[in-house]
Amino acid sequence: MSMELRTSPHQHSGRDVPTIMRNVVYAMLPICAFSVWQFGLSAAALILVVTASCLVAERINNLIRGTSSSLSDWSATITGVILALTLPPSFPLWMGAVSGFAAIWLGKSLFGGLGQNPFNPALVGRAFVQAAFPTAISTWVPAFSSQRFNEFIPTSLTAPFMTPPDIALWVKQQGIDAFTGATPLARWKFENITPSSMDFLTGHITASAGETSAILILLCGLYLAARKFLDWRIPVAVLGSAMLLAWVFHLAQPLRYPTPSFVLLSGGLMLGAWFMATDMATSPVTPRGIWLYGALIGILTVVIRYFGGLTEGVMYAILIANATASLLDQFNQPRILGGKRGKS
Amino acid sequence: MRLPFLKRAATFEHGIHPDYHKETGSLPIRRLPFAPRLIVPLSQHIGKPAVCCVSVGQEVLRGQVIATADGFVSLPVHAPATGVVEAIGVMPSASGKMMESITIRVYQADSQAVQVSAPQDIDALDKQALLAAIQATGLSGLGGATFPAHVKLAVPPETPIDTLVVNGAECEPFLTCDHRVMVERTQDLIRGIRIAMKVSGAPRTVIGVEDNKPDAIAAIQAALPADGTITVKALETKYPQGAEDTIIYALLGREIPAGQRPAAIGVLVNNVMTLAYLGKLLPAGEGIVERVLTVAGPAVEKPGNYIVPIGTPLRFLLEQVGARSSAKEIILGGPMMGMTISSLDVPITKGTSGVLAFGKAQLPQETQRVYSCVKCGECLKVCPKFLNPSQMGLLAAKREYEAMAERYNLDRCFECGCCSYVCPSHIPLVQQFRIAKAINREKATS
């Protein structure tokens, strides 16, 4: 009998990094499907191109560093899918590819790869293209156009390194009434008009590819929380603090500030709270750190939306909170069993 | 009507729920035959090794003292079988170290009844005499810690004990020997508790048993004395419920101040197996010559609980229970904290609570890929001591062992292994902590 020597424990839970990451991807598939149903071919192509560019960037990085392939840990896939969902459905595909490379290389590889990145790679990619292509990233198209499964939105197929064509005429031809080309957040900010909650739930709003149905995102997130693939405290803290702050503003000046439910349902808050703020590598691990981190995101989101120059604040809120994550851990080490109270 | 979700068993915070594999818990204890040769180490306890008092060629009787205790923190060793001393010298032991041992060739034709005993009236003995009598039984902690029983029970007057906690949690997967002893030797256990209470001066006793052993709880409940000084409490089935910190917290809601012993908060913890043997051996005035242990694991054909003579070589034991050729790893103790052995020639000692044989299928795959820490925080959610294994793992990778101890309470880790169990990146966290502790110790002494 040949004997193997090892040190305890001799059992393992069986849950590994690829399993967790794969399940996060599964949980995003319904959101992707909804996006494709709403926006048609362009959304499908955008999700595929951005994800593929992330995988290619990851693989190139493996080759440069001479390491074995890290595609099987599924983390690059997550980055790609999340990134695609935060982009406008009309986003030119070549710009999508640029954002994918920026996400992986600037957001992740530069710091040493899996688990080592301080910032959410998908948001780094989005921030990159927000700076590089400010027009394209704020060009919106109506959902449910009649020809969406037959033709691409004209901007999608822009030749690489070319400026996308103006699509105002194309949008007009779609014959969708009351389309303004602005997101609900922008309309609230500049025109003080808010759509009904029902529109948010059914996706009849102008938004990024994956941000239109708050209820679907919520369900997918709840699935991950129930299976313990994400930490439920983060979305609860993000949404709770955003709602609370919005509620205080709304109470003070109901005409000026929107209802808490509008804040909760609009823009990328729901997607960010469940799928981006919860990124393991870039969120704290200590209990108190987690609550503070979530609350920081919620508060920053509302503050940026209300007082900043941008209409949407989730992306920068999460990136700023990412930067504080390790510091939050440092100052909030849990009290050990039998340790002195009031001292970490 | 009692709502099941409202009645929660006592427990600690954090911890894990591994697969328990407690199938052997329903099998009665059986006796293992004597091996042709028994190897009895002189040091099976924490403290000074015993001093050999027999010579090669000498005949020994089962139960006879073959090595005497060397001072207070030491234990005598008794001959586990009638036979002849074949050799005295260094032999391999489970830890891998060579250890001074007495080899006894067993007389196969002998009845092997315990030949040497000195029955005594416990009620007539005072505390000092009781302590001496307990030391004479050679009893060490049978849960695996192997601290001499009498030393633990010798409570200094300046730190009085108000509660004796009896640990029947048996939270390690596979192990069921404590379970069977609670069911089959309940009277021994109660007697042992009485003795321990008398010696330690503890006015009350709480027995904690995990709720996956309802028959053990029922058996103890039925045997409890009417005066109410001894109670039994169901604990949630969760690992590591049976660690000192966790069981005290679960049963009494008290925390042991970091770095101190349970005595600091007036608690004494003893394992059920130790007390059951105390209750059996002390009145009879016998020494410990055998113990009940679990032999289990997928590579064992006849798993169960066996009475095994001290000194039985593992090779003999595994032949008796039919170890399959698929066995790849032999573990002494449980799968969470037990250690693997490199040789089947090592003997069963007083502290061996289980022998597990695992095949390749049960072991984490060799090819299992180690990913870098993704900071999922799972280890923080399971650590029963509320440590930060994630951060300590990152520091260990940078060899900052002192920072681990100074800033992250490395020394409070009791190596339960929950962090390694859950780590989705397969980082050998607790393994790194052991190394870090050893290096820090070495630095401190040099």
Q: Do A339 and B409 touch (CB under 8 A)?
A: yes
- Please count the other Cβ atoms lying within 10 Å of the Cβ belonging to residue B364: 15
Question: A272 near A235, Cβ under 8 Å?
Answer: no
φ, ψ (nearest 5 deg) of residue B83: 180, -155
Peptide bond connecting B4 to the previous residue in cis, omega within 30 degrees of 0: no
Q: Is the torsion defined by CA of A315, A316, A319, A324 positive or negative?
A: negative
Cα within 13 Å of Cα(A61), Cβ side: 23
A257 to A247, A254, A316, B177, B430: CA distances (angstroms): 9, 6, 21, 67, 52
Q: Is residue B66 part of a domain?
A: no
Paired tokens of B115 = 């030949």
Helix (H, G, I), strand (E, B) or coil at B256: coil
A138-176: burial string, b at 16+ Cβ within 10 Å, e else: bbbbbbebeebeeebbbbbbbeeeeebeebeebbeebee
Range of the domain at B395: 378-445
SS3 A115: coil
Asked if residues B71 and B23 have their Cβ atoms less than 8 Å apart, the reply is no
Q: Do B388 and A12 touch (CB under 8 A)?
A: no
Instruction: Decide: residue A86, CB within 10 A, 0-12 exposed, 13-18 middle, 19+ buried.
Output: buried
- Separation CA A76–CA A53 (nearest Å): 9
pLDDT tens figures, B141-159:
998 789 999 999 999 989 9
* Amino acid in position B305: N
Do A8 and B19 lie within an 8 Å CB cutoff? no
- Whose tokens are 């309470």? That residue is B409
Domains in chain B, number: 2
Nearest-angstrom CA–CA distance, B171 and B237: 7
CA atoms of A54 and A85, how far apart (whole Å): 14
Per-residue pLDDT tens for B180-231? 999 999 999 999 999 999 999 999 999 999 999 999 999 999 999 889 999 9
> Is residue B425 assigned to a domain?
yes
Which position has the higher pLDDT, A196 or A97?
A: A97
- pLDDT tier at A3, thresholds 50, 70, 90: confident
Q: Which pLDDT score, from 0 to 100, does residue B3 have?
A: 52
Q: Is residue B175 part of a domain?
A: yes
Residues of chain A in contact with residue B388, where contact means CB-CB under 8 angstroms, are: 285-286, 329, 333-334
Which residue in B313, B308, B316, B303 sits closest to B94, CA to CA?
Answer: B313
When mean pLDDT is compared across A63-72, B6-15, B337-346, the lowest value belongs to B6-15
Tell me the pTM: 0.91
Q: Is residue B23 part of a domain?
A: no
> Nearest to residue B149, comparing CAs of B170, B162, B130, B168?
B130
Domain assignment present for residue B289? The answer is no
Q: For residue B420, list chain A residues with Cβ-Cβ distance below 8 A.
A: 9, 12
Residue B237 lies inside a defined structural domain of this protein: yes
Residue B367, pLDDT > 80, answer no
Angle of helix A121-132 relative to helix A93-107, nearest 10 degrees, comes to 130
> Among residues 81-110 of chain B, which lie with CB inside 8 Å of chain A?
none
Measured between CA atoms, how close is B305 to chain A, in angstroms? 21
Q: Do A7 and B339 touch (CB under 8 A)?
A: yes
* Contact assessment for residue B251 and residue B206, using Cβ atoms and an 8 Å cutoff: yes
- DSSP-assigned letter for residue A275: I
Is B364 close to A13, i.e. CB distance below 8 A? no
Task: Reply yes or no on whether the pLDDT at A58 is more than 80.
Answer: yes
AA letter at A230: L
Question: Among the three residues B239, B263, B284, which one is the final residue of a domain in this structure?
Answer: B284
The secondary element (H helix, E strand) that includes residue B324 is none
On whether residue B70 sits in a domain, the answer given is no
Segment among B99-103, B270-274, B324-328, B359-363 with least mean pLDDT? B359-363
- Smallest CA-to-CA distance from B238 within B7, B420, B422, B13 is with B13
- How many C-alpha atoms does B311 have within 13 Å on its Cβ side? 29
Distance CA B7, CA A275 (A): 36
Instruction: Report d(CA B323, CA B327) in Å as an integer.
Output: 7
Amino acid A344: pLDDT? 43
Closest CA to B148 of B137, B139, B157: B139
The domains of chain A are located at 16-139+141-178, 181-207+214-331
**Mind listing the pLDDT tens digit for each residue in B336-356?**
999 988 889 999 999 999 999
Residue of A3, A11, A21 for testing the chain B interface, max B β-carbons within 10 Å: A11
Sign of CA dihedral A224, A99, A305, A198: negative
User: Which of A239-243, A293-297, A329-333, B116-120 is predicted with the least confidence, judged by mean pLDDT?
Assistant: B116-120
Residue A278 in tokens: 């919860």
A305-309, B80-84, B266-270, B283-287: lowest mean pLDDT where?
A305-309
CA–CA separation, A250 and A57 (whole Å):
45
Are residues A274 and A224 in contact, defined by beta-carbon separation less than 8 angstroms? yes
Residue A343 has pLDDT above 50, yes or no: no
Q: How far apart are CA A208 and CA A184, in angstroms?
A: 11
What are the percentages of helix, strand and coil residues in chain B, rounded to 5?
A: 30, 20, 45
How far is Cα B40 from Cα B405, in angstroms, rounded to an integer? 38
What count of other Cβ atoms lies within 10 Å of the Cβ of residue A25? Answer: 17
Task: Give domain status of residue B322, yes or no.
Answer: no
On whether both B137 and B274 belong to a single domain, the answer is yes
User: Which residues, at least 6 apart from A169, have a Cβ–Cβ distance to it below 8 Å?
Assistant: none
Q: How far apart are CA B368 and CA B385, in angstroms?
A: 28
DSSP-assigned beta bridge partners for residue B91 = B99
pLDDT at A161: 86
Furthest CA-CA distance within chain B: 69
Residues of B in contact with A58 (CB under 8 A): none
* Residue A94 in this model has a pLDDT that exceeds 70: yes
Q: Which residue of A has its CA nearest to B338?
A: A8
Cα→Cα distances A230→A16, A203, B16, Å: 14, 25, 17
Chain B residue closest in CA terms to A2: B328
Strands B163-168 and B204-210: parallel
Supply the mean pLDDT for chain B: 92
**Do A38 and A202 meet the contact criterion of CB atoms below 8 Å apart?**
no
* pLDDT in the model for residue A41: 93
Q: What is the percent of chain A where pLDDT is above 70? A: 95
Instruction: Note whether B267 and B412 are same-domain residues.
Output: no
Share of chain B above pLDDT 70, in %: 97
Strands B230-235 and B204-210: parallel
Residue of A126 and A255 predicted with greater confidence: A126
For B63-113, what is each residue's pLDDT tens digit?
999 999 999 999 999 999 999 999 999 998 887 788 999 999 999 888 888
Helix B272-284, helix B127-136: angle, nearest 10: 100
Of B232, B252, B284, the last residue of a domain is: B284
| B430–A13 C-beta distance less than 8 A | no
Question: Which of the listed residues B234, B252, B284 is the one where a domain comes to its end?
Answer: B284
ipTM of the complex: 0.90
pLDDT at residue number B307: 97
In this predicted structure, what is the pLDDT of residue B112?
84
Lowest mean pLDDT among A45-54, A143-152, B26-35, B315-324: A143-152
Burial status of residue A115 (CB atoms within 10 A of its CB: 0-12, 13-18, 19 or more): buried
- Using alpha carbons, select from B312, B315, B317 the residue that is nearest to residue B296: B317
pLDDT at A174 > cutoff 90: no
- Chosen from A5, A10, A24, A331 to mutate, greatest number of chain B CBs within 10 A: A10
Residue written as token pair 């966790």: B246
